[in-house]
Amino acid sequence: MRSILIIGGGLIGAASALRLQHAGVRTILIDPGDQRRGASFGNAGHLGPEQVMPWSTWANVSGAAGRAFGLGGALDFRWRDIGLWTPWSLAFLQACAPARVAASHAALSAILEDTMPAWKRLAALAGDAGIVRDHGHMALWMNPARADAGLKAWARTPVGKVRLREWSEAELARYEGVLRARPAAGLFFEGPGQVRDPQGARDAMLAAFEAKGGEIVTDSAVRVHEDGRVDLASGMARQADALLIAAGAWSRPLMAQLGVHAPLIGERGYHVHSPEHAWPEDLPTTFFEERTMVVSRFDSGLRATSFIEFGAPGAPADARKWARLEGHLRALGVRFAANPQRWVGPRPALPDYVPAIGRLKRAPKVLYAFGHAHLGLTMCAVTAELVLALAEDKAPALDIAPYALERFG
Ligand SMILES: Cc1cc2nc3c(=O)[nH]c(=O)nc-3n(C[C@H](O)[C@H](O)[C@H](O)COP(=O)(O)OP(=O)(O)OC[C@H]3O[C@@H](n4cnc5c(N)ncnc54)[C@H](O)[C@@H]3O)c2cc1C
């Protein structure tokens, strides 16, 4: 293959574009150019090789009611989008069957195993090894009873090759001056990393891509064709030897044009972001377990993320969720701007929480890489290497059969 059109310039599209262009494939990246639209802009910056278990499990189903937004939890469904999430939820329930969970667990374990080395290779290719750092992350509890239950739950949960270690009293004292109260317990994950800034990482990849001769077209694909042609919103058309569909949660209608069902949903998350803060650089990314909220320190400021809101990718935001995040930060005593930056965006989620990466059997000029749900930042480096192997028709570093979209029929 000598040329490829990539649709979507989120982390998956940007990382793939850089890999392909570097390998000598003439690569054209098509994206409307609104940085804030996709999940890649607003994520928590965590590289999480420990997340080897899919979200589609009976344990998650049985605990769902207690996690409802109306009861103070992070889970919500947009009623207006019931037509989207009803069939998706049925497929999710099917993915909870024990054999499916085992298959998803194996697929996630395989793709997550090389996370940190692959990210370091990607950062080097982007010309900035400092994008990524070995940082570890922390699960923190403020309530002793919840801490006890939470620590027991983590002891039962597979986490791949990541090591867990409970922090001592002295280590927990590092949260003094950051939180109003001393945490009851903290479980440190050794192995995961962090990017210094998610948008900064994407910018670095795109700059390196252009420096290597890659072309960015600021436009939207309105129609994709099996022969590698794409019609654009501007009325122009582009053609290449192959296509890569990497449009995150918006990939579904594009795949439908090719006659393929991609059961994607927007699993929307929210963040508030404050340039002003007092979070030390060496304190790990922290997951406040009782509040289902992640706090991450980036070069651009402190960010709190949360929520799983099923609905259309571009639906209007629910401002109550930002207010809830700001309330959590106040209650914990975290220093934050009075009027923080606010953001909502869709994680591209498939019912089994395994990404879709492959080549369409019925249209071999079409490659696809989407559906990375909670782990698109984590997996973009490995995904880009798999995409390159597909494009070059070489054996990929791992068996990619489990990621084939055809698994959904
Ligand atoms: C609150 C939150 C926290 C998260 N935290 C983490 C984390 O800590 N670690 C982690 O690994 N992951 C995290 N994620 C998940 C991660 O951000 C996503 O999995 C990842 O960003 C998906 O990347 P993507 O490129 O597939 O999609 P996106 O980032 O959504 O990009 C898709 C791009 O395609 C473009 N596009 C859409 N339609 C078209 C079209 N027709 N033509 C051209 N372009 C088009 C869009 O405009 C967009 O730019 C988080 C997500 C959220 C929401």
**Proportion of the chain above pLDDT 90, given as a percent:** 98
Mean pLDDT, rounded, for 324-329? 98
Is pLDDT above 90 for 191? no
Which residues have a Cβ under 8 Å from the Cβ of 121 and sit 6 or more positions away? 381, 385
Mean pLDDT computed over 348-377: 97
174 with 140: CB under 8 angstroms? no
Q: Tell me, what's the pLDDT at 382?
A: 98
pLDDT tens digits, one per residue of 338-348? 999 999 999 99
**Would you tell me the crossing angle of helices 115-125 and 11-22 to the nearest 10 degrees?**
60
Pocket test for ligand 1, best of 270, 347, 353, 370 (most atoms within 8 A of CB): 347
Is the pLDDT score of 1 beyond 90? no
Half-sphere exposure of residue 335: CA atoms within 13 angstroms, side-chain side: 11
Q: Is the pLDDT of residue 98 over 90?
A: yes
Instruction: Dump the DSSP string for 320-358.
Output: HHHHHHHHHHHHHT----SS-EEEEEEEEE-TTS--EEE
Q: Is the pLDDT of residue 409 over 90?
A: no
Q: What is the pLDDT of residues 240-291, one digit of tens each?
A: 999 999 999 999 999 999 999 999 999 999 999 999 999 999 999 999 999 9
The average pLDDT across 66-91 equals 96
**Mean of pLDDT values over 359-382:** 97
Can you tell me which residue has the tokens 């990607």? 122
Q: Say if residue 135's pLDDT is above 90.
A: no
- Ligand 1 centre from 348 Cα, in Å? 7
Instruction: Say how far apart CA 213 and CA 198 lie, in whole Å.
Output: 23
Beta bridge partners of 356: 370
Per-residue pLDDT, 121: 97
String of DSSP letters for 87-107: HHHHHHHHHTSHHHHHHHHHH
Q: Determine the average pLDDT of the residues in 310-334.
A: 98
* Max Cα-Cα span within the chain: 63
pLDDT at position 205 over 90: yes
CA angle at 134 for the pair 132 and 137, rounded to the nearest 5°: 110
Q: Which domains does the chain have, with CATH numbers?
A: 3-408 (3.50.50.60)
What is the dihedral sign for C-alpha 252, 352, 193, 179?
A: positive
- Ligand 1 atom nearest to 372, measured from its CA: 19
Which of these, 213, 263, 264, 223, lies nearest to 243 by C-alpha position?
223
The confidence score (pLDDT) of residue 28 equals 98
Whether ligand 1 lies within 6 angstroms of the CB of 378 is answered as yes
**373 touches 347 (CB < 8 A):** yes
Q: What's the average model confidence in pLDDT over 36-55?
A: 97
Q: Which residue out of 31, 258, 295 has the highest number of ligand 1 atoms within 8 Å of its CB and is therefore the one to mutate?
A: 31
Confidence (pLDDT) at 297: 97
Q: Is 187 in the pocket of ligand 1 (CB under 6 A)?
A: no
